[in-house]
Chain A
Amino acid sequence: MYSFDYARAKNAKDAAKLLAKKEAKVVAGGMTLLPTMKQRLAKPSLLVDLAASKDLKGIKKAAKALTIGAMTTHAEVAHSSVVKGACAALAALAEGIGDPQVRNRGTIGGSIANNDPAADYPAACLALGATIVTTQRKIPADKFFKGMFETALKRNELVTAIQFPMAEKAAYIKFPNPASRYAIVGVFVAKFKDEVRVAVTGAGPGVFRVPAWEEALAKKWSADAIAAGAVKAADMNSDIHATAEYRAHLCAVMAKRAVAAAK
């Protein structure tokens, strides 16, 4: 780790101000950022800690949407009765991230700002059609996730909350990498009154939707509607754990299981 300065932001606005300093970076749970710094792959001059920014925390349910503050930890989402009631699939997803230590520190804001191509939350955001609320604007999930580790966020822009519309049914099924337990393939399906959305994480260079499955499921909500072949091996990642063919195959298997499990 290189040496760096440290500041604790009082709230989101304060954090955005502190971020103006060159090479400054916010730290949320630190579960991704600190290991990267230890490996000397990141070299922030100033770490702006969001831990004391109470305005970034909390879970609220309104008629149409569930709002989760950026600094809400995975464990808080997993154990929240509000989340369980509004979207059990989201709570279950959070419970499946990493290990207890990671869940007690890692945050939803950090996870989506980081946009790891194998992370779980981006699939939920995309499939549920979430809105990412930032210090500057509201960004639909469809426009937020850009490619590997890239988002629509500008340099001084912070995620403050995520608003999830309520689905009739939803489920997330993850095929974990045996070593890291990140997703080799994770599929989130969400059924709304007038549409179905399917998002896949882990399989490709970034989280993506599968229109063919969405249309098929909108016509007929059944695991049989998932046709293999809609996800092509040519678009998949390949590594020692899973070839592109295997990933493409797993996408269909996980999607079917998600439809069958959706509540």
Chain B
Amino acid sequence: MADNNGTIKNDIKIEVKNLNFYYGNYNLLKNINLFFKKNSVCTIIGPSGCGKSTFLRTLNRMNDYTEDTKLTGEVLIDGKNIYNRSVDVVELRRNIGMVFQTPNPFPKSIFDNVAFGLKIHGIKNKEFIAERVEKCLKYAALFDEVKDTLYKPAFSLSGGQQQRLCIARAIATNPSVLLMDEPTAYLDPMSTGIILDLITSFKKYYTVVVVSHNIQQAARVADYSGFFLSGELIEFDNAGDFFTRPKDKRTENYITSRF
């Protein structure tokens, strides 16, 4: 589709500049430069342990809570560096939904898991909350399975159901960016298909960044894709070129070995 260089800056939602990330003295992410466009899906692929999750967490400052880490460089969201001192982290995260690699529902009921985000942002209208929770669960293709057990603890759900619950939870507050760390890791092909369609339909409203181990799935939803290898961004391109004509030999090897 559109080429990624000639476009005006306004199209860019997230821009990462010279990003370095350290665990202690270990420089994990090395000089990352890339950008995510508005209303697009970008997939991040790469072997296990290459730093995909860490990278994703730098985009909403979740690494702030990991001890003994250091970050240099910039992450601009809507043109503003989120690592500026003046940035309100709470406000920032309200705008960025996140689905973690391992499902992490709260020790609350299914309903309250989804309603949580609404409540902490000051929505009190019970009817609206109930309606919104139902919509979110339908959106995440979970409603049918849980409609009779909405008030049971979320931990009673299966792994895949918990993952979909976390997706429902993440979209409840209508963020403009959605970060998803292997959202289909626990899912069967049917639900995977539903979630992939969901991701595609998200892009009308969100900027979506998805980490995936499954190259077919990544190719199916991606507008852009990036390949990480031991903390370096080897290649970043629009999905068409990335998956069919990768420029770097290492990207090609990685992609083809999995197909």
Q: A and B: real partners?
A: no
Measuring CB to CB, which residues of chain A are less than 8 angstroms from any residue of chain B? none
